[in-house]
Chain A
Amino acid sequence: AQKVTQAQTEISVVEKEDVTLDCVYETRDTTYYLFWYKQPPSGELVFLIRRNSFDEQNEISGRYSWNFQKSTSSFNFTITASQVVDSAVYFCALREGKLIFGTGTRLQVFP
């Protein structure tokens, strides 16, 4: 069965700390896509990144980086030098047909 697990329900950090959000997935398919979304307090879900199952290169975008490891079925998200504006709920999702979301990790960054 397809499943996405975000074991961290809530994380609190102080500004400028680095923080990693974990995502572990289960799938039997060899072709699939993984996504990260950000949901700030205003409510809208903002698309951050997509990764397909054949591309295991890590990606960096500014302070954000993603580590995809098929061997451990993980797609972790790291924010470097966190800022208060990073406070949000972050969702990891798996797509093979329909999109399956994890339950989200609430990140609070304190000044």
Chain B
Amino acid sequence: DVKVTQSSRYLVKRTGEKVFLECVQDMDHENMFWYRQDPGLGLRLIYFSYDVKMKEKGDIPEGYSVSREKKERFSLILESASTNQTSMYLCASRDSRGGQPQHFGDGTRLSIL
């Protein structure tokens, strides 16, 4: 079974802090993704990575950056956290072969005070 592990289930930070969300997958997947989930808006793609050291902007990258130094790890960085970044963050990975599903972690519920 694919295992995608997000470092925290719940996180509380203050406005202006630099926040790191970590995601690790154990299936040697090339592709990894970060989403945020908000009520009524569904899942929105923040950033994704097709391979190590590669990154692409998703639909809502503003205020975020990412790092993929190793294949198994994909980090999401909030450079200067703001209250509108309070959300549920979901990491996913998938095999790069066509049509393979994304497998998700348990999510991190982040609150910015």
Contacts and interface: CB of A to CB of B under 8 A. Distances in A.
B49 to A, nearest CB: 12
Contacts of B41: 103
Contacts of A91: 42-43
Contacts of B92: 45
Nearest to B2: A47
Contacts of A99: 33, 45, 102
Given A91-B43, A101-B42, A43 B101 contact: no
Interface stretch (B17-25, B64-72, B103-111): B103-111
A98 interface: yes
A70 interface: no
Q: How large is the interface on B (under 10, 10 to 19, 20 to 34, 35 or more residues)?
A: 20 to 34
A50 B94 CA distance: 13
B78 interface: no
A23 B74 CA distance: 31
Q: How large is the interface on A (under 10, 10 to 19, 20 to 34, 35 or more residues)?
A: 10 to 19
Contacts of B101: 35, 47, 50
Interface string B44-78: 01001000000000100000000000000000000
B104 A98 contact: no
A44 B106 contact: yes
A52 B105 contact: no
Given A33-B99, A95-B99, A98-B58, A45 B45 contact: no
Given A98-B58, A102-B42, A103-B42, A43 B106 contact: yes
A45 B99 contact: no
Contact of A43 (B40, B100, B109): B109
Interface of B: 9, 33, 40-43, 45, 48, 58, 88, 90, 92, 98-107, 109
